[in-house]
Structure 1
Amino acid sequence: MPPLHSAMLQKFQETYINRGRLLIKCPDQPGIVAAVSRFLFEHGANIMESGQYSTDPAGGTFTLRIEFDCPRLKEKLPNLHKDFTAIAERLSMEWQLNSVTELKKTAIFVSKEPHCLHEILWAWQSGEIMTDIALVISNHNDCREIAESLGIPFHHIPASKEVRKEAEERQLSLLKQHGIDLIILARYMQILTPNFVSSHPDQIINIHHSFLPAFVGARPYERAFERGVKLIGATSHYVTNDLDEGPIIEQGIERVTHHANVDELKRIGRSIERSVLARAVKWHLEDRVIVHENKTVVFS
């Protein structure tokens, strides 16, 4: 592990040793916030940050994200889970409660272009994102040195239509072996099968190099140039079996003029892709994203 990241991680764990997060999605109804607040108070927790959103107060879906501080959280966590279950069942909640310092394990998938991989690794090294990057998987060897220079295991698994089944079996085996919580597609230029996607629902984040829903699929910059667009962008979204149509987490744009050729559009686009993907990953790792149908609620 790089020294800078090690120092950042130690400081993070010391600072947030007693910090927890609670995420909730349930049918909207009176008394949700009161019940949750009372529960945290009765267990000695102090709410540090809270955000809520209802899709429709009259019969919609209610979402809630709370960060709280609780002395001796690690010791109390099993009882917090046990005691909250009764509230969750009564209010029909989907929920998760965890310690901020229990880092999610991440796998990065990449093909040849390294710019998104560089951005994620820089954010990881500097402490901008807190995660355990367990491995990098690629269908090419171009990015091997980047990963291994930071002590991250690199696995070259050739992938194509002809060997897709065998490749994904190897990939899924590695993900299971490492207990992966999040898969980042950092310009991984392969389409994942329904079997792969269904094994990690809402746990695969992709970056698409265009402003979805425009220019879905291949060669978006060439098609954008031919259309004479004045705005280009990038979209980060969760992967579903509908190509490039999963729940959107973050988007970014930049204005361009008729002077920009395809290469210039790609250069500008790479910069947008890096920042958009990094923000989406950071928000997911901080449990700021709740998926509702084919949309997301992103708590700032």
Structure 2
Amino acid sequence: MKILITGSTGLLGQALRRHLAQSCDVTGLSRSIPAGPAAERHVVCDLRDAQRTRAVLRELQPDVVIHAQALSDVDRCEQEPALANAMNAETVANLAQALDATRSTLVHLSTDYVFDGAKGSPYDELDAPHPISVYGRSKLEGERMALSYAASVVIRPSTLFGPGRMNFCDHVVARVKAGRTVEAFIDQVTSPTYTEDLAEGIGQLLGVIDRASITALPSRILHLANDGSCSRYEFAQRIAELLGASRAQIRAIRMAEQGRPAPRPPFSGLTTRYVPRLIGRRLRPWDEAFQAYLASTDRLHNIAPGAGSGWTGC
């Protein structure tokens, strides 16, 4: 199977490449050439350029395009809505139009931020989206663009953590190791999702999704996140516990206290009606996945104290 991964240098893109390259012919795509081994089997393309996008797809003829590229800085999206729409919606429209001339399957990665959080319990695939931020609205429009292409599936994960790029987990580890206080939202609940688990789940889904059977899927929108949900505060407390640090280093705050430009849904935890019947399982609980992340990458030792001091997160 020939797979093209857009955003292949991002947090999820790197995990997808590691996992899928074990059994598939994988090419990465981003707007610039990455450093190191990732530069091999890589194509440079700005997906906002419709003509260049069509040319790349004609040349590569992938069986599957996994669109993991996005502008995910929620506050920047709020401040630059035109850029957010271009990166998160127009690029998807360009892909969908370019794929019309192929037999490729499009797997589009979206977000839990398409929900407003008012439900107060995990969202499944039948819940109606209602985004409250520019980021969420641009991603929802991207979903619509993706679904306009018949051979497409939308996958919604939640808050990502994993190796490759600084994320909330690494930010907390760095500050706790430095003996510093960590402020974490007590009123923002998500389903923390390990990128390695997500990549493995997407790989399994590719085994059952193809152009011939895609119309037989129970839904073309699927939620794929580690099982369970927690607040950012609870997540940070668990990190401190595993580091053997005092939970007193974690200070609970409310989102309004930081005055960030973009609103966040107070509860965007995810659950799924359909994934277990397609791949035979749910992703493991977030706490198990989190412990595996710390153990497998030795994050307790490799993250320098204070390394996450400038990280603002999503």
Instruction: Please give the TM-score of this superposition, normalised by the length of structure 1.
Output: 0.41
Q: By percentage of residues, which structure has more strand? A: 1
Greater Cα radius of gyration, structure 1 or 2: 1
Q: By percentage of residues, which structure has more helix? A: 2
Instruction: Please give the TM-score of this superposition, normalised by the length of structure 2.
Output: 0.39
